[in-house]
């Protein structure tokens, strides 16, 4: 029976999550041996592939970018003020799922869904930097008040800006090499798949080792993350539809930098709140699998 490469890619996402969960101890040991450099290295490579397709001259901020960022911050504040009177930890978890900027891998998935790559690359750079400016204010409201601009910039800037600069220099100095990377951009999906398994493996180890007795609250945080995930993809697609790029809108608002979100929640909020962005990893990849499956059927 012939199995298309598209079907394999669609099935490989949940499979990657399962493998990451089952081999969590081995993955954590390997990541520790590498000095926690596996994920950053994979992110650099997959973004380099993608950014080799991006023409710097075609990158322009748009009104869609502004509305996506406004929706991101407004939703984070709304969730905090709406839920904090009832449960502070749940409110923190919900807030961080919205406050987190666009995932660095969102450009990869967006490109596979037919989004304008330059449009998404522009927003990815702007959103992560703008979030670093705004997040300390929001986290000082909802957390321990110790977050600074430089702490967040130090987390996002090297991983986002360095592959972009490297790709643009490659386009300028070695256009044929850059052309090869650009034409083989789909390989970045497989680098992302490995990074997904690593993130799930590390996340599974954290959940096992955290050992909290508050399982009811953990389930509530996971459920809230699922609702927020679906809502953000839907809202992003609605904004994108208004500006002629549905896929870019959906991925830009729905696919979150969960590694940053987990770090922020563990560092500046109640550590239990990180269950929400942890669950968000699973939810957003279920949505991505569904979108890639539907893309095949169109």
Which residue do the tokens 């204010």 mark? Answer: 137
Average pLDDT of every residue of the chain: 83
The three state secondary structure string of 38-105 is HHHHHHHHHHHHHHCCCCHHHCCCCHHHHHHHHHHHHHHHHHHHHHCCCCHHHHHHHHHHHHCCECCC
Q: Model's pTM, two decimal places?
A: 0.82
Q: Which residues contact 291 (CB under 8 A, 6 or more apart)?
A: 109, 113, 247, 250
Q: Is the dihedral of CA 239, 242, 247, 249 positive or negative?
A: negative
Residue 115 to residue 48: CA distance in whole angstroms: 18
Determine the pLDDT at residue 228: 96
φ and ψ at residue 53, rounded to 5 degrees = -85, -10
Q: pLDDT at position 217, please? A: 83
Residues 6 or more apart in contact with residue 127 via CB below 8 angstroms: 65, 68, 69, 72, 101, 102, 252
Residue 2 confidence (pLDDT):
42
Q: At residue 246, does pLDDT exceed 90?
A: yes
Encoded tokens for 65: 């970018």
Question: For residue 10, is pLDDT > 50?
Answer: yes
- pLDDT number for residue 96: 93
The whole-number average pLDDT for the span 21-36 is 86
Which tokens belong to 96? Answer: 């961080």
Flag whether pLDDT at 251 surpasses 70.
yes
pLDDT of res. 77: 94
pLDDT of residue 3: 46
Contact 207, 73 (CB under 8 A): no
**pLDDT over threshold 60, residue 44:** yes
Helix axes 117-142, 88-99, angle to 10 degrees: 150
Q: Are 120 and 107 spatial neighbours (Cβ–Cβ below 8 Å)?
A: yes
**Mean pLDDT score, 13-29:** 84
Region 279-294: mean pLDDT is: 86
- Rounded alpha-carbon distances, angstroms, from residue 183 to 49, 160, 292: 9, 21, 20
Q: What b-and-e string marks burial along 132-147, b requiring 16 or more CB atoms within 10 Å of the CB?
A: bebbbebbeebbeeeb
Q: Give me the mean pLDDT over the 132-138 stretch.
A: 83
Instruction: Locate 50 and state its tokens.
Output: 């993608």
pLDDT of residue 298: 47
User: For 164-212, what is each residue's pLDDT tens digit?
Assistant: 888 889 988 888 988 888 887 777 778 878 888 888 888 788 777 765 5
Q: In terms of residues, how long is the chain?
A: 298
CATH of 10-297, one of 2.40.37.10, 1.20.1630.10, 1.20.1530.20, 3.10.20.30: 1.20.1530.20
Give the residue extent of every domain in the chain.
10-297
Residue 70 has pLDDT above 50, yes or no: yes
């Amino acid at each position: 029976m012939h199995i298309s490469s598209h079907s394999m890619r669609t099935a490989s996402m949940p499979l990657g999550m399962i493998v990451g969960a089952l081999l969590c101890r081995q993955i954590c040991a390997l990541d520790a041996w590498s000095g926690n450099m596996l994920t950053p290295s994979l992110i650099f490579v997959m973004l380099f592939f993608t950014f080799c397709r991006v023409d710097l001259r075609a990158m322009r901020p748009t009104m869609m970018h502004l509305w996506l960022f406004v929706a991101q911050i407004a939703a984070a504040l709304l969730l905090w003020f709406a839920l904090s009177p009832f449960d502070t930890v749940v409110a923190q978890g919900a807030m961080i799922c919205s406050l987190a900027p666009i995932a660095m891998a969102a450009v990869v998935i967006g490109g596979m869904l037919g989004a304008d790559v330059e449009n998404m690359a522009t927003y990815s750079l702007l959103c992560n930097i703008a979030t670093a400016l705004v997040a300390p204010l929001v986290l000082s409201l909802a957390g321990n008040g110790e977050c600074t601009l430089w702490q967040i910039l130090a987390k996002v800037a090297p991983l986002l800006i360095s592959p972009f600069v490297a790709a643009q220099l490659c386009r300028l100095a070695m256009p044929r090499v850059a052309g090869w990377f650009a034409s083989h951009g789909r390989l970045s999906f497989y680098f992302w798949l490995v990074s997904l398994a690593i993130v799930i493996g590390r996340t599974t180890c954290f959940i096992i080792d955290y050992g909290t007795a508050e399982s009811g609250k953990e389930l509530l945080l996971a459920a809230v993350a699922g609702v927020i995930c679906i809502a953000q993809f839907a809202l992003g697609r609605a904004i994108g539809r208004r500006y002629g790029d549905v896929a870019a809108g959906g991925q830009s608002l729905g696919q979150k930098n969960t590694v940053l979100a987990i770090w922020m929640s563990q560092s500046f909020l109640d550590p239990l709140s990180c269950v929400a962005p942890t669950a968000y990893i699973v939810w957003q990849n279920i949505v991505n699998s569904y979108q890639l499956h539907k893309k095949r059927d169109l």
